[in-house]
């Protein structure tokens, strides 16, 4: 590629979601994740969310707004655990409302789990149709919710088995982070 080929690209910031994860059994992972998201704020300024697991329970908080607007010391203090994931959103699909903020949290027979995602799926319509045929309704309008619902409603004895079944169905370019009560 020649240097002149880059001139067609507009000279402006390119937004994308920010995803952050931490495993630290002796530290305050909610606060660490807050600071990680704060550093990634430039990647998405529409909403922010954190999910934390203590090995038994998944707790989460998310809302529309900047990281420092969404989280307070009191909220972070109510999120004990040793593993956490966070997300700051720039929407590529779905509107900017709280039920489209990440992490997307779902409950299934294996327990509650949280999912964060960055990227674009190219087959959201077929995934939505698959869920509809399964009798599953969506509440938001993000491709991340589609992935979470597929995981929740796909047979499998473990989350790993469900991921092995669901991930081949997804087309596009993306990264995915998942937190379960049993996350290492």
Q: Identify the pLDDT of residue 94.
A: 58
Q: How confident is the model at residue 1 (pLDDT cuts 50, 70, 90)?
A: very low
Nearest partner of 48 among 71, 24, 67, judged by Cα: 67
Phi, psi of 175 (to 5 degrees): -125, 155
Residue 76, CA distances (Å) to 79, 120, 124, 167, 183 in order? 5, 30, 34, 32, 20
Residue 122 · residue 47 · CB < 8 Å? no
Distance between alpha carbon 46 and the CA centroid of its chain, in Å? 14
Known catalytic membership, residue 17: yes
Q: How confident is the model at residue 159 (pLDDT cuts 50, 70, 90)?
A: very high
Residue 32 · residue 81 · CB < 8 Å? no
Catalytic hit among 16, 17, 162, 164: 17
Q: Identify the pLDDT of residue 59.
A: 95
Q: What is the mean pLDDT of residues 131-147?
A: 89
Residues 119-132: pLDDT tens digits?
Answer: 888 999 999 999 99
pLDDT tops 60 at residue 152: yes
pLDDT tops 90 at residue 154: yes
Q: Identify the pLDDT of residue 157.
A: 94
CA terminus-to-terminus distance, the chain: 43
Q: List Cβ neighbours of 117 (8 Å cut-off, separation of 6 or more).
A: 17, 19, 87, 102, 104, 143, 144, 147, 174, 175, 176, 177
Q: What is the mean pLDDT of residues 44-70?
A: 90
Torsion of CA 49, 53, 59, 63, to 10 degrees: 0
Q: Given the structure tokens 């660490």, which residue do they identify?
A: 32
Nearest partner of 117 among 42, 18, 22, judged by Cα: 18
Q: Identify the pLDDT of residue 40.
A: 85
Q: What is the mean pLDDT of residues 88-93?
A: 69
């Amino acid at each position: 590629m020649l240097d002149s080929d880059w001139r067609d690209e507009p000279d402006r910031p390119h937004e994308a979601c920010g995803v952050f994860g931490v495993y630290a059994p002796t530290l305050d992972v909610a606060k660490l994740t807050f600071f990680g998201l704060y550093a990634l704020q430039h990647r998405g300024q529409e909403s922010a969310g954190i999910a934390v697991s203590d090995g038994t329970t998944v707790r989460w908080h998310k809302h529309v707004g900047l990281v420092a607007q969404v989280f307070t010391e009191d909220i972070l203090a109510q999120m004990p655990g040793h593993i956490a994931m966070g997300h700051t959103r720039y929407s590529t699909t779905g509107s900017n409302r709280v039920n489209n903020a990440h992490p997307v949290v779902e409950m299934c027979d294996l327990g509650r789990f949280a999912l964060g995602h960055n990227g674009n799926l190219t087959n959201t319509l077929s995934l939505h149709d698959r869920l509809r045929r399964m009798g599953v309704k969506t509440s938001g309008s993000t491709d991340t919710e589609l992935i979470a619902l597929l995981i929740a409603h796909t047979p499998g004895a473990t989350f790993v088995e469900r991921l092995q079944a669901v991930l081949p169905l997804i087309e596009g370019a993306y990264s995915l982070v998942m937190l379960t009560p049993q996350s290492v």
